Amino acid sequence: SRIEARMRCLKAFGERIMARGPDRQTAEIHIRIALMNRFKALGTVEIIRVA
């Protein structure tokens, strides 16, 4: 399912935030969100009507 795929993606990044400073933590979270959205876009099927 989609949720299982998202959790697999999240686990691939690791469960903990590696950065120590609050600014860097925020940046790391934004990067993770952007990557997960990109993975979602790559996995979305585009249906085209033929004929």
In total, how many domains does the chain have?
1
Q: What is the model's pLDDT at position 31?
A: 92
Distance CA(26)–CA(41), nearest Å, equals 23
Name the pLDDT band for 45 (thresholds 50, 70, 90). Answer: low
Is 25 among the domain residues? yes
pLDDT tens by residue, 1-42:
677 777 777 787 887 888 999 999 999 999 988 988 887 777
Is 50 among the domain residues? no
Is 36 among the domain residues? yes
Distance CA(41)–CA(18), nearest Å, equals 26
Is 51 among the domain residues? no
Which two structure tokens, joined as six digits, stand for 9?
Answer: 């993606």
Q: What is the model's pLDDT at position 27?
A: 95
Distance CA(20)–CA(8), nearest Å, equals 24
Other Cβ atoms closer than 10 A to 15: 6
Is 18 among the domain residues? yes
Q: pTM (2 decimals)? A: 0.65
Domain interval for residue 16: 2-43
Please provide the size of the chain in residues. 51
Is 7 among the domain residues? yes
